[in-house]
Copies of this chain bind each other. A is one copy, B any other.
Amino acid sequence: MRIGGVAKRVSLWDAGCPVARALDVIGDWWSLLIIRDAFDGVRRFGEFQTGLGIAKGMLAARLRALTERGILETVPASDGSAYKDYVLTEKGRGLFLVIVALRQWGEDHLYGPRDPRSSLVDRETGAPVARLDLRAADGRRLAWSDTEVRKVARSRTGGS
């Protein structure tokens, strides 16, 4: 007997691991790109749609999900029209360093020295921002091998 599985996407929410839970919220193909555009000042449905090249149905579903999860909120359009803007909440703005970390990794490992790419700069000086680094509570720089995940209770869904 050979019955097919149920393809319902698994949820990562019930994990003791904040990484898993974060990915449950923003770990799909489009959410972080929408959020990236929101950081760049994109606010309107149509702007997201043409900028990303995403299907309208997907975009509508993602904007709805991100709004329900408190990452975006809708406000009256800033141009005075009857439409609405999608803007980041405080929680959504908290994702800035996730975007920056992705950007720096991409710059380091996915482009050749001459490949054209955008760059994140200090608005005041125009110079590229510094690299992120991990530090101990007392300020010492830490490599990944200097750290470990302290596990909590028993959780069946995630290692860390």
Contact = CB atoms under 8 A, between A and B. Distances in A.
B149 A120 contact: yes
Interface in A5-51: 5, 9-10, 12, 16-23, 25, 27-29, 32-33, 36-37, 39-40, 42, 51
A120 B104 CA distance: 21
Interface residues of A, number: 88
Given A117-B152, A142-B122, A152-B117, A106 B22 contact: yes
* Copies of this protein, total: 2
A61 interface: no
A134 to B, nearest CB: 6
Interface of A: 5, 9-10, 12, 16-23, 25, 27-29, 32-33, 36-37, 39-40, 42, 51-55, 91, 93-111, 116-130, 132-140, 142, 144, 146-153, 155-160
